[in-house]
Structure formats: C-alpha cells, structure tokens
Amino acid sequence: MTLDIDAILTNPDKHIIVCTGSGGVGKTTTAAALGLRAAELGRNVCVLTIDPARRLAQAMGLTELDNTPRAVAGISNGSLSAMMLDMKRTFDEVVESHSDPERAEKILSNPFYQALSSSFAGTQEYMAMEKLGQLRAQSQWDLIIVDTPPSRNALDFLDAPARLGSFLDGRLIRIITAPARGAGRGIGRIAALGFGIFTNVLSKLLGAQVLADVGNFVADIDTTFGGFRERADATYALLKDSGTEFIVVAAPERDALREAAYFVERLNQDSMPLGGLILNRVQEVPETGLTQDQVLAAAQKLTAEGEGQLTSALLELHAQRMEIKERQKHLAMRFTAAHPNVSVQPIPALAQDVHDLAGLREIGEALANQGITW
C-alpha cells in the first residue's frame, strides 16, 4: 500500500503532522520537505525542528533559528515558517507567563530549575509539546509540522512529558521536600520502611542543598503554575485529536524498522492517527530482467578473460546494488507482514545531501510520487 501524502498535506482538517522515528533516519529533512510541499500546495505551514543541521537551516534560507518562527523566502501559493526549539527559553517563558516577576526571578535562579530546564531527560520532549500547543493556539498557521527530539527511543516523545509531569507533581517529591508535612500524616509504607533512612540516603547521595533547592522550587511553582502533569496531558490530547497525523520515518535497517514497529504498535494501541511510514534511503536498482547471479557470472567471465575491466566493474556494482536492495526489501516486507495496514512510501537514497529549497522540493516530489516501484 502506498502513502498518499498530498491527500494528507492538503486536507484542511489536518493541523498537525508529527514526524517520528529513531535517530539518523532523516526525520528533520523529511519534516522540512513535507513543510515546503504543503506550503506550495497552499497551506500556511510552520515547521518546528528540534536540532536541525546547519546545512538544513541554510537550505531553508534561515540564518537564525531562535525559538521564534521565521518566514522562509521564495515560497509560492501558501507560506512556510520554520523554527528551532530552544527548550530552556521555552521553559523560562512558561514560568514567566505564569508568575509575577518577583517569583519568576526566584524560580529562574533556582539551581534545581536550571538543571531541570537544561539537562533533564524528558524536558526536551515536554517543551516540544508545550511549543506545539502554543503554535497551535496561534491562528497564524493552519498546519504545524513537528520533528521529534533525538530520543533514545521514539516512544519517548509520547511518554516523556507525562513522565516528567507526574514526577514533578508526584508524591515522592512532595514528601521528600517537605518531610515535616509528609511525616505528620500517615504515609504508610514509606513510614514503615523508615523515613529516616530514605531522606538520609538521598541527602548523602545528592547533598542536602539539592533537596533544599527542589523543595523551594516545588513551593514556588505550586502557587502559580498549576499541574505539570495536567499541562502534559492537555498537549497529549492534542496529539490524539483527529486533526493530527503521525508520520513514522525509518531507514531500511533492522534497528530503525524495529523502532518504527514499536511506534506503530503504540499508535494503534492509543488509537492515534497514523498516516504511514516513510522509508528513507532505499537502494533503487533499475529493472534489467537479470538475476544477481547472472550479473555476477558475467562479471566473473570478463575478469577471468582479463578483459573489459570497466564493464566488469559496472556489472559488479550492479550486482552489489541488487544485493543491498534485496536485503532492504526483505526487511521492509517483514515490517509490512506484521503491519499490513500501514502504507509505506519508499524514498530513494540521494547521492548528495540537501543544500537548498530545490533539494527539499525534490524530496517532496519523491514523498508524493505514487509511482515509485521498489
């Protein structure tokens, strides 16, 4: 089954496209190419990237990527803006917009907050969701395309915000940071196990100052901010909306396809809308009606006769590519056998990296080409 990407891009009811997949499969480039194509099909598009390579930013003519959408020049029909997520800045802005300046200042200078906003596992995913929610709330764009962070696994994009939210809202953080309050009430199991040891070990491991910083942070944020978990749940709901479409990106390699399979299964389980799988970097081989063995035998015959070095090299190259293609197809077929309802769009490997809008446009055409036989 092939993927009709143009039908998704031009569907006025679709407002969010999430590109996901494991690292190194070309997610960011795919997101940018989809954005450009949608814009040229008449949509007003914003592409939210997480960590674009310098070249890709240049390809879109962007000199600064600074947490604000910047318009890309040279687009006909619709419009295209692109931005790069700055997670710390996004978090700071959330804090600032939810508290008075004095309290905001206190939170922003708290060492625990600084660690939380710049190096926590899950903060990037949380802030990507937060930014997505903000962009969606503005009426300037009718389609937002999100590239997901280079997480350890693709599911982190879905799970990390809620995990971080629960943690920050959680019982443990409150008990530990307010021992008097916690110990005063019946805290059951924890008290039974010896609350003393618990805080004692933690402060040995982390230092008493860290726990104090966490305590101050929780107290300051409590009165102004509302629940972290609630916030994460709200954006998660946005992803389950029928206006959202997930596009899973993979390469024809075992690991990347395994990640893709996990993700597809999860989307099914949560009834989230899956557009299809984009399989980047597939080896294309023109059809010649010959088998790999025939081609190799011919190459060997020439080599044995000590003639036709060039032709024999060309034949070997052809045979090599056939072998790579066969292996890739085998992997792709295993994926399809397990997930027969997922449409798959193969994208041929490019000899060169993308340098400009023309390059992105070319990828966009490949994404929409229903005639790619592979």
Partner 1 sequence: MQNWPKATLHVVTGKGGTGKTTIAAALAIALAKDGHRTMLMEVEGRQGIAQLFDTPPLPYEERKIAVAPGGGEVWALAVDTEDALLDYLEMFYKLRRAGSALSKMGAVDFATTIAPGLRDVLLTGKACEVVKRKEKKQENAYDYVILDAPPTGRITRFLNVNGEVSGLAKVGPIKSHADSVMSVIASEQTAIHLVTLLEEMPVQETLDGVTDLEVNGLPVGGIFVNMTRPPQLDATQRSMAIAGQLPKSEIENEISQSGLMATPQLIDALLTEASDHAERVDLEITEFERLTQRGLPIFVLPLLPSGIDLGGLYELAALMTASGIGEE
Residues 187-206 that bind partner 1 (CB under 8 A): 189-190, 193-194, 197-198, 201-202, 204-206
**Segment contacting partner 1 by CB under 8 A, of 16-24, 36-44, 129-137, 231-239:** 16-24
DSSP 81-137: EEEE--HHHHHHHHHHHHS-HHHHHHHHH-HHHHHHHHH-TTHHHHHHHHHHHHHHH
Smallest separation (angstroms) from partner 1 to the CB of 13: 33
| Smallest gap from residue 283 Cβ to partner 1 (A) | 10
Amino acid at 371: G
Interface residue with partner 1 among 11, 140, 311, 341 (CB under 8 A) is 311
Residues across the chain? 374
CB of 10 to partner 1, least distance (A): 30
CB of 6 closer than 8 Å to CB of 368: yes
Provide the mask over 122-151, with x wherever binding to partner 1 is found by CB under 8 A and - wherever it is not. Answer: ----------------------------x-
* Residues sharing a CB contact under 8 Å with residue 219, sequence separation 6 or more, in sequence order: 177
The answer to whether 180 contacts partner 1 (rule: CB under 8 A) is no
Kindly determine how many residues on this chain lie close enough to bind partner 1 according to the rule CB under 8 A.
Answer: 73
- Any contact of residue 358 with partner 1 (CB under 8 A)? no
By CB under 8 A, residue 186 contacts partner 1: no
Q: Is 55 in the site for partner 1 (CB under 8 A)?
A: yes
Sole binder of partner 1 in the list 4, 323, 356, 362 (CB under 8 A): 323
CA 55 vs CA 61, 163, 189, 245: distances in Å = 10, 34, 55, 27
CB 103 within 8 A of CB 224: yes
Q: How far is the CB of 30 from partner 1 (least distance, A)?
A: 14
User: Is residue 120 near partner 1 by the rule CB under 8 A?
Assistant: yes
- Residue 73 as a binder of partner 1 (CB under 8 A): the answer is no
Query: In the complex with partner 1, which residue's Cβ is closer, 102 or 287?
Result: 287
How near is the Cβ of 137 to partner 1 at its closest, in Å?
Answer: 29
Please report how close the Cβ of residue 84 comes to partner 1 at its closest, in angstroms. 15
User: Which amino acid type is present at position 120?
Assistant: F
Task: Determine which residue in the list 183, 210, 238, 372 makes contact with partner 1, applying CB under 8 A.
Answer: 210
Residue (41 or 211) nearer to partner 1, CB = 211
Q: Which is nearer to partner 1, 12 or 196 (CB)?
A: 196
**156 membership: H or E segment, kind and range:** helix 156-169
Is there binding between residue 333 and partner 1 (CB under 8 A)?
no
User: Strand (E) positions, 186-298?
Assistant: 244-250, 274-282
59: alpha, beta or left, given left = phi > 0 and alpha = psi -120 to 50? alpha
CB of 366 to partner 1, least distance (A): 15
Q: What is d(CA 355, CA 290) in angstroms, rounded to the nearest whole number?
A: 36
Residue 142 phi/psi, 5-degree rounding, is: -105, 0
**Which stretch, 102-110, 139-147, 240-248, 280-288, contacts partner 1 (CB under 8 A)?**
280-288
Q: For the range 255-258, what are the long-range contacts, defined as Cβ-Cβ under 8 Å and sequence gap of 24 or more?
A: 255/22, 256/21, 256/22, 256/24, 256/25, 257/331, 257/332, 257/334, 257/335
Does 289 engage in binding with partner 1 (CB under 8 A)?
Answer: yes
Does 226 interact with partner 1 (rule: CB under 8 A)? no
The span of 88-96, 100-108, 234-242, 350-358 binding partner 1 (CB under 8 A) equals: 350-358
> What is the DSSP code string of 178-189?
-HHHHHHS--TH
Which tokens sit at 316? Answer: 């070997």
Cα 101 to Cα 104: distance, rounded to the nearest angstrom: 5
Binding string, residues 290-309; x marks residues near partner 1 by CB under 8 A: x---xx-xxx-xx--x-xx-
